[in-house]
Copies of this chain bind each other. A is one copy, B any other.
Amino acid sequence: MNWITTMGFVAGICTTSAFLPQVAKIFITKKTQDISLFMYIILTTGVLLWTIYGLINEDLPLLLANGLTLIFVCSILVLKLRHG
Contact = CB atoms under 8 A, between A and B. Distances in A.
Q: How many copies of this chain are found per oligomer?
A: 2
Contact of A34 (B17, B24, B29, B38): B29
B4 A50 contact: no
A43 B18 contact: yes
Contacts of A24: 36
A7 B38 contact: no
Given A34-B35, A36-B22, A39-B22, A47 B7 contact: no
Contacts of A38: 21
Q: 7 nearest interchain CB pairs?
A: A14-B46, A11-B49, A15-B46, A21-B38, A18-B43, A18-B42, A34-B34
